[in-house]
Structure 1
Amino acid sequence: MFQCVLPLIDTEKIDLSSAPWTMHEFFAGSGLVAYGLKDMFSPVWANDVSQQKADVYAANFYSEHFLLDDIKNVRGASLPYAHLSWASFPCQDLSLAGSIGGIDACRSGLVWEWLRILDEMPEKPRVLLVENVSGLLSTSNGNNYRKLHAALTERGYDCGAIVLNASLFLPQSRPRVFVIAVQHGRHIPQELIGSGPCWLHSKTAAELGNTLPGWIWWYTEKPPKRHFTLKDIIEVNVPFDKDNVIRLVPEKHKAALEKHETVYATGYRRTRHGQQQLELRFDGVAGCLRTPEGGSSKQFLVVKKNGEVHARLLTVREAARLMGAPDSFILPGTYNDGYKAMGDAVALPVARFIGEKFLVKIAEAVYND
């Protein structure tokens, strides 16, 4: 049985308003960040441009604070004050699976709109968090991150980037970069600052940190080992209707299938040397969920059991479980709507981990010094 990260709740909307600290939630999506930070940071304002994601947010949370609009239309002077500003800006131009247009391209470049809004605020939050894919650090030889880092330090913040993979908490490989920024001169608990790279820093992050001014080597202890796998989040009694894709499994992966008596594997269709292949992973962890645009962006589940091999797409509920959402989380709309809402989100237990280990402790320090 799948063990939810949060306890199941009834179908009533979730109240996010009870928390000691407040936050702005830019690029809020379906609200998994707000859910993860529940009881720590209450969103007093949230925004997204996607109607599909707004529908998911409204189906699950009391959402009077949610603004469905283009971020370009938002003015900082109109926002209520908040202790934290969280911005999970679009990743398409920084993703290795995308066009890699860079941080100034039309989609990922919306991060500059967030910074413009900060500049327009009468009083900026003392704590910021910026989230994106690992390509933020690695693309353009690190120059995309350097530009963002410079923009933050120029605005009076010290910051550092950490890399967290959702696989620490869930059976999904989903590495993401989290840039935590604190106003310069504010007190930061010494327990959160290391003397150099630790398990939170990829090689690229370590290289950047060694060269950039105003860099903070964030530190906390590693979470305990996860004890459930892909098999534990699978919905039973869902028909296997994609057996035709098994013919696309490459020979070396077929050989691996042969070695297992029972196995749950996932894979994406990829083009290799001009031919489509369904490349599988057998480590009990799903590949990184994506948005469903394009035929190669939906993840297949391949199960070998009782001598038979069958295939189907991951269900929307399985995608939600891979993001840490409890089964009570409502996903209205089509399959693609639900899959997009999850594939474009921040994994809930990752947001909770960052909130508990860093953001609450930082807020307590910087707002009480």
Structure 2
Amino acid sequence: MKYIDLFAGIGGFHLGMEQAGHECVGWVEWDKFARKSYQAIFETKGVWNASDIRTVRSTEIPRADCWCFGFPCQDISVAGKQGGFTSGRRSSLFFTVTELLREIEEKDRPSYLLIENVKNLLSINGGWDFAKLQVELDEIGYNVEWDVLDSAEVVPQHRERIFIVGHLRGRRTRKVFPIVKCHKEINQRPDTTNTLTTRYGEAQGAGSYIAESKPTQVKQIGNISMSSSFGGNPQVGRVYGINGISPTLSTMQGGSQEPKVLVNFRVRKLSPRECWRLQGFPDWAFDRAKNAGLSDSQLYKQAGNSVTVPIIKAIAEIMKLLEADK
């Protein structure tokens, strides 16, 4: 499939979709440092792009089978102000995207929408914001399905995110969720509210590619938040054992918050490379961004803002197989 990468960041959607065999025909990203990383990692010459979704015209967007986007979550995240759609300016960019879709003739709209955001989207403002999202997508012709997936199933960090797939009514699209493994859906683990599972030989024709694994639980072994260097913030000061998995990477609205680990009885923070690895980026991608002149501060921030690549690949692989099985 051909896809558009909106709010592209450093290309987590791009890499996961590309690994599953899909083709990027356009991307949009406003942050100049993220754009620098994106262009260093991917071959973007000749590919349509824009820097600000608010100035994009629907007529200039290339036709695509899927639009991918994780719209800004600062107004929805539990770490943010939680203004939601009502008072949050950044998260309202979701409606900027849907307005573009409204302006496109139905025959030219993408068959799929692949949307990612923080799990809090389900409950903020008593669930009314998520209801508004569904109503908005319904009005422009999309049926939706969703699931909360945990990155801990494919990389060593807990990172629960909601993934929404929109299906344009009238097209022969088929459901992606739930993703299952070994002919059955995996039960919830006691240490998380949801889990990523992979479809394996299901009736819909998809196959699995993620190796079965049993990641260990998060093991917090201490907290150094009372240190003046951490400003008394307990989230920043948490320390985890190296034989467990890390907590979710977070940028804390633009700052950097790197998980810390205890190695040989000494506390150290994860390196930018390790944070990129936790998001499923290969070292060659990190090296290209680093060699493009990005600072460690920006590299930390970019890792925290990205989607987890193997999860995108899992979803994209299923979408490809379902399309081939029509």
Report the TM-score range of the alignment, normalised by the length of the smaller protein. Answer: 0.7 to 0.9
TM-score normalised by length of structure 2:
0.79
Kindly indicate whether residue 169 of structure 2 is the aligned counterpart of residue 168 of structure 1: no
Say whether the 8 Å CA contact 1:127–1:363 is kept in structure 2: no
Q: Give the AA of the match of 2:262.
A: V
Distance 2:81 2:224 in 1: 29
Aligned match for 1:226, one of 213, 220, 224: 213
> 1:299 — aligned with what?
258
Aligned match for 1:149, one of 99, 114, 134: 134
Kindly indicate whether residue 317 of structure 2 is the aligned counterpart of residue 334 of structure 1: no
Distance 2:136 2:121 in 1: 14
> 2:281 — aligned with what?
325
Q: Give the AA of the match of 2:149.
A: L
Say whether the 8 Å CA contact 1:23–1:41 is kept in structure 2: yes
> 1:88 — aligned with what?
70
Distance 1:80 1:343 in 2: 29
Say whether the 8 Å CA contact 2:101–2:140 is kept in structure 1: no
Distance 2:121 2:237 in 1: 28
Say whether the 8 Å CA contact 1:172–1:322 is kept in structure 2: yes
Say whether the 8 Å CA contact 2:247–2:259 is kept in structure 1: no
Max Rg structure = 1
- Deviation, 1:229, is 6.9
- Deviation, 1:312, is 2.2
Aligned CA RMSD, in angstroms, stands at 3.4
Distance 1:187 1:294 in 2: 41
> 1:286 — aligned with what?
246
SS at match of 1:103: helix
Aligned match for 1:102, one of 84, 88, 97: 84
> 1:355 — aligned with what?
316
User: Could you report, residue by residue, the CA deviation over 1:123-169 in whole angstroms, capped at 9, with x for unpaired residues?
Assistant: 11111111100011121121111100001111111111111111110
Unaligned runs of 5+ in 1: 1-20, 206-217, 232-244, 250-267
> 2:182 — aligned with what?
none
Distance 1:125 1:200 in 2: 33
- Deviation, 1:310, is 1.2
Q: 1:191 to 1:70 in 2, by over 3 A?
A: closer
> 1:313 — aligned with what?
269
Distance 2:168 2:303 in 1: 32
Say whether the 8 Å CA contact 2:148–2:162 is kept in structure 1: yes
1:101-140 equivalent positions in 2, closer than 5 A = 101-104=83-86, 105-122=88-105, 123-140=108-125
Say whether the 8 Å CA contact 1:170–1:229 is kept in structure 2: no
Distance 2:175 2:258 in 1: 42
SS at match of 2:84: coil
Distance 1:173 1:26 in 2: 24
- Deviation, 1:277, is 7.5
Distance 1:84 1:294 in 2: 29
Alignment size in residue pairs? 292
Distance 1:190 1:55 in 2: 35
TM-score normalised by length of structure 1:
0.70
**Kindly, what percent of the aligned residue pairs are identical?**
28
Distance 1:200 1:34 in 2: 30
Q: Give the AA of the match of 1:226.
A: S
Q: Give the AA of the match of 1:156.
A: G
> 1:13 — aligned with what?
none
Unaligned runs of 5+ in 2: 180-184, 195-203
